[in-house]
């Protein structure tokens, strides 16, 4: 049976256009059950969706020992949800909005997240 949790990305840019942190209060931290554990939790998928404007998110995952390299996820408002399967052993996920350029001011449009275990 599938299990899921959903929510919204906080308003405000957590990262500037060069990837540097503006402030952590604009980020979201998800503490999650480790995916892909046989007999405990199944495969896990993290999805994002945006409306009205395209959004760039920085996603960083922690495997219980260290933070993995951050990756930028471009969420296009005209597309369906943007989903990726989580690697085995992930325990925390940090997500924040990224300014796409110096003129980017769209820091408060709706961006939702969905965490699914299948």
101-117 residue pLDDT tens: 999 998 999 999 999 98
**What does the pLDDT average to over 46-65?**
95
- Determine phi and psi for 49, rounding to 5 degrees: -145, 145
pTM for the whole thing? 0.90
For domain 3-117, give its CATH number from 3.40.50, 2.60.120, 2.30.29, 2.40.360.
Answer: 2.60.120
Q: What are the pLDDT digits (tens) for 25-38?
A: 999 999 998 877 65
Residue 7: pLDDT over 80: yes
By CB atoms closer than 10 A (0-12, 13-18, 19+), residue 105 is exposed
CA distance 43 to 21: 31
Calculate the average pLDDT of the chain: 92
């Amino acid at each position: 049976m599938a299990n899921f949790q959903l929510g919204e990305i906080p308003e405000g840019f957590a990262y500037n256009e060069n990837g540097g942190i503006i402030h952590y209060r604009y980020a979201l931290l998800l503490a999650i059950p480790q995916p892909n554990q046989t007999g405990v939790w199944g495969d896990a998928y993290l999805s994002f969706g945006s409306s009205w404007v395209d959004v760039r998110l920085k996603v960083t995952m922690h495997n219980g020992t260290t933070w993995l390299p951050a990756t930028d996820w471009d969420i296009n408002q005209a597309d369906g949800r943007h989903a990726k399967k989580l690697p085995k052993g992930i325990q925390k996920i940090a997500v924040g909005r990224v300014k796409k350029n110096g003129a980017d001011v769209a820091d408060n449009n709706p961006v939702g997240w969905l965490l699914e275990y299948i």
